[in-house]
Structure formats: C-alpha cells, structure tokens
C-alpha cells in the first residue's frame, strides 16, 4: 500500500513539462523526492518535511 501511495503522490506532484528550461534537473529533483518519500516510513511529519524541501528546491530550479 505504501508503494502505491508513493507512486500516486509521485504522479500527482510531478509536473515538469517540456517547457521547463531545466527538464533534466527537474526530473532529477523528482527522482530524489520519490526516493526520499520511500524513506519516511509513513510518518506524516517526515512526509511534510520532504514535500516542503522538494517544493523549495523545485522553485529554485525553475520547475513547474
């Protein structure tokens, strides 16, 4: 169930489009985000922290 949830969240949150100037960087950030989600152990606080960090890094990189 956890892997399904991570995959579902991944699909919902990954929105680097071909318009992005940094497609590779956006894809790498997303891959790191998914890996980090797998290590949270389902802890809501950890999920929130990982998501917050991902969103900050995504914004700095200019990803959608």
Count other Cβ atoms within 10 Å, centred on residue 40: 17
**Structural domain boundaries, residue 55:** 2-13+21-61
In this prediction the pTM is: 0.66
**Number of helices and strands in the chain (H, E):** 3, 0
Residue 61 has pLDDT above 60, yes or no: yes
Query: For residue range 3-58, what is the model confidence (pLDDT) as tens digits?
Result: 555 655 665 555 545 454 678 888 889 999 998 988 888 889 999 999 999 999 99
Overall domain count for the chain: 1
Q: What pLDDT, on the 0 to 100 scale, is given for residue 20?
A: 46
């Amino acid at each position: 169930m956890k892997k399904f949830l991570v995959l579902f969240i991944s699909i919902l949150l990954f929105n680097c489009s071909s318009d992005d100037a940094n497609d590779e960087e956006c894809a790498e950030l997303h891959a790191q985000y998914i890996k980090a989600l797998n290590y949270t152990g389902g802890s809501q606080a950890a999920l929130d922290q990982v998501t917050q960090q991902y969103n900050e890094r995504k914004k700095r990189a200019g990803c959608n």
